[in-house]
Structure formats: structure tokens, C-alpha cells
Amino acid sequence: MTDHARSLPSPDDAWRARAAAVIPGGSSTGSKRPDALYGAFAADAVVPSHYDRAAGCRVWATDGREFVDCGMALGAVGIGYADPAITAAVQAAAVAGPVSSLPHRLEVEVAEALVQVIPCAERVRFLRTGAEATNAAVRLARTLTGRERIVACGYFGWLDWNSDALGVPAATRDRVSWVPFGDSEALAAAVQGGDAPAAIVIEPLVHDIAPRDWLATARQLASAVGALLIFDEVKTAFRVRTGGVQALLGVTPDLTVIGKALANGYPLSAVVGRADAMDAAQRTWISSTAAAEATGLAAAHAVLAWHTQHDVCARMDAAGCALRDIIGAALHAEPWTGVRAEGPNVMWRLVSAEPVQLDALVAAAARHGVLLKRGAYQFGAVAHDERALDAVRRAMPALLESLHATTQRP
């Protein structure tokens, strides 16, 4: 493609304009807004903004261009887009009627399966999103303990209890004490430095998997003060291990929040945990009309079958490692890019001291058929086969040449 052709608006660019006219920010998902996808290159007419279809680890934009996707729907898709077995299960649930005035039997079957694979799970409640489920876990902790304060480390979604965004009451924000990742002294000081907390809520993988000693300290502190330990394993369950970081490191929380790869991209999340903590749901109100809608449950049922029949997490790890090695080695050989690849195999990130260089890299990758996520995270998936990895490998020289030309512009 010539530079002149690259400068011309593409059919996909028209969708970006239409979206901007009717959707604030251009997308209902913050991480999929043009400025979030491409930063300083959000207005580049050639980088894709919308897709028509996805299969395996590939996405086709509205103008027909094909891309190898390294972000895999923000980690929601672990097996692959439109996996035939998962799609068939979802279609069967849709044909049978995905909701009614009674709960579907799949709600019971999937809950039973989750109790078998998540170490802390004795009871299960389903919701649709990770943010909802984390909010529910916090409410359960507050209900069980009669306390309000939360000690937290991580990202837990957009809902009020953990957000400092405009529109959130100060009184709500003030009930959360934030601590740095991996810092046991700060964690102890936060737990002991005010009124007793209802819960310690931790995302056990941020830039890397949490140190086991830190999680063990959180476990000890929570038990000592009568608080619940909650792990947000929305990104890590069914990825790091089927049972999450808790299964990998052997530190068991009281409650766990799961989602994303649980249903391979279909909207489903859950709070799971010890029976007495989960039974607090009977004393408060946590409910949603679509919480246990059957297509999401059918997808999760099929995903659980995948994990029973295959070492899915090992395959994700291998794919993520291969992607990081291909991209990371190319960047390391060209230090002028200022971008490097870091983090664990299954979910690694691109980092740079110069954000515009990272923006330029992501835009250059998109021009050459590779979708990278700015910053965190790139997710390995089962569908990242040798053909896809080879496509990324072959794209790197032209991608870097394009990046060099872009960053040399006056």
C-alpha cells in the first residue's frame, strides 16, 4: 500500500464517524474508544475502528482487512473467537429459549462445575460483568461483617464503591483504603490503621503475578481482624490456572470474582466462595434479570469442558510466550523504538517511557495486520496457532519500518 493510499479514508473510517455522532467517546467500552486504542494516532484513517466478524485469533474490519488479534477482546476470549463447540452450545441455548420465568438447569450445572475447580468455592452466584460481581462480593462482605471500610489493591471496574471518577460521592470513595501492589507493610498499616475493614480486596495479577508471601500476609491479616479476603480473578481464572492464581500459589480467599475467559467472551461473571459468606446473599439484595441467562451459561459449560479435556492454560501460556518473544525480540533489536515487552506469558504488556512511541507502534502494527493493545495486556489464546504466530513474525520488519517512518515525521 502506498503512503498516498494510507492517507485516504477507508470504509472503516466512516463507521468511526458514525459512532462518534451517536455514542459518547465512540464506544460503550472505554478501552475500545479510538483514543484508547491508538492514543495520539486515534484520527489515523487507516487504523481499524470496528469489526464485522472474528474467528480464532483473527478479526476482520468493516472494510474487509484481516488482523491477528493479540488483545483477544481484553482477555475475555481464551479459546478463540467463534469456537465451533462453544458457538454450538450457545446456539442450542438460544434456540431453546435463553430466559424464562424459571432458572435454567445450566445455572445449577455450571455452579456445580465451578465448585469443583475454584479452590475457595462452596457456593456460586452469577452476574453478567466483572464489575457487577466484584461489587456483589464487597456487598456480601459488608453484610456478613456489619462493617463498611474496604482495603483494596487493583482495578475492579467502574462502579461507585471503588471509583474516584466524577459523579462518585466522596463518602463512597472515603470507605476504601488503597495499598500498593506487593507491599506487605503498607497492607498491614491499612488494615490496622482505621476502623476494622469488611474485606481486603486484591487483584492478584497486575504487572506480574502477586508474590505469594504478600497474598499469605493478606490471608493472615483478614483472618486476624475478622475481614473477608476477596480475590478479583476476573482476568486470571481460566487463564493462569483453571482455578486462578489461588490454585497456582495455594493461598485461598474467602470469596473470588471470576469472568472474562469463563465464558469465552459471552457476558457472564460469578462470585464464588465459602458457604457462610455466600449465604449472606440471603440477607441483602443481589439480583439481575439477566444474571443467569442461558447463552452465557452454555458458553461457560462448553469452556469448562475444554478445560476438562485439554490443558488450556498451558496452551494459553505457550501462545502468550511466543507472541511476547516474537514482538519483544524485534523491539529489543531496535532500541530506538523505546518500547519493550514485559510481564507473564499469559498476559503481558507493552511499556514505554515515551507514550507517543507506544501509540505509534500500535498504529503501525494495525497498518500491517496485527492488533496490539496499548499498555496492558496482550493475551495468549489457544487459537494463536503457528500460522498466526508466523503472520506476526513476518509483519514485524515492515511494521518497524513503518514505525520508523512515522516517528520521523516533522
Least confident stretch, 4-18, 130-144, 159-173: 4-18
Q: Are 282 and 376 members of one domain?
A: no
Domain boundary among 309, 337, 359: 309
Say yes or no to pLDDT of 243 above 80: yes
pLDDT in tens, 70-123: 999 999 999 999 999 999 999 999 999 999 999 999 999 999 999 999 999 999
Q: What is the mean pLDDT of residues 189-206?
A: 97
Q: Which residue segment(s) compose the domain that 98 sits in?
A: 86-309
Domain boundary among 252, 277, 309: 309
Around Cβ 210, how many Cβ atoms within 10 Å?
Answer: 22
Burial 113-131 (b: 16+ CB within 10 A, else e): bbeebbbbbebbbbbbbbb
Q: Are 251 and 276 members of one domain?
A: yes
Say yes or no to pLDDT of 1 above 50: no
- Burial (CB < 10 A; 0-12, 13-18, 19+), residue 70, is buried
Q: Which residues contact 93 (CB under 8 A, 6 or more apart)?
A: 104, 106, 294, 295, 297, 298
Share of the chain above pLDDT 90, in %: 93
Q: Which residues contact 332 (CB under 8 A, 6 or more apart)?
A: 340
Residue 408: pLDDT band (50, 70, 90) is low
Q: Are 152 and 242 members of one domain?
A: yes
Q: Are 125 and 198 members of one domain?
A: yes
Domain boundary among 281, 309, 337: 309
For residue 401 the three cell numbers come to 519500518
pTM greater than 0.85: yes
Q: Please count the structural domains in the chain.
A: 2
In the β-sheet with 51-55, what is the strand arrangement from edge to edge?
Answer: 51-55, 58-61, 66-69, 370-371
Residue 263, pLDDT score: 98
What are the CB-based long-range contacts (under 8 Å, 24+) for 313-316? 313/238, 313/239, 313/240, 313/241, 313/242, 313/346, 315/382, 316/78, 316/239, 316/346, 316/379, 316/380, 316/381, 316/382
- Alpha-carbon distance of 56 to 336, in angstroms, equals 33
For residue 169 the three cell numbers come to 460521592
Q: Are 252 and 354 members of one domain?
A: no
Q: Which among 4, 33, 36 is positioned nearest to 20, based on CA atoms? A: 33
Q: Are 194 and 294 members of one domain?
A: yes
Q: Which among 349, 340, 351, 347 is positioned nearest to 380, based on CA atoms? A: 347
pLDDT in tens, 354-405: 999 999 999 999 999 999 999 899 999 999 999 999 999 999 999 999 898 8
Q: Are 205 and 349 members of one domain?
A: no
Q: Domain with 271 in it: what CATH number? A: 3.40.640.10
Q: Domain with 391 in it: what CATH number? A: 3.90.1150.10
Q: Are 218 and 260 members of one domain?
A: yes
Q: What is the mean pLDDT of residues 159-168?
A: 96
Residue 10, pLDDT score: 63
pLDDT in tens, 256-309: 999 999 999 999 999 999 999 999 999 999 999 999 999 999 999 999 999 999
pLDDT in tens, 252-262: 999 999 999 99
Q: Are 265 and 287 members of one domain?
A: yes
Strands (E), 254-352: 255-258, 269-273, 339-342, 347-352
Say yes or no to pLDDT of 7 above 80: no
Say yes or no to pLDDT of 2 above 70: no
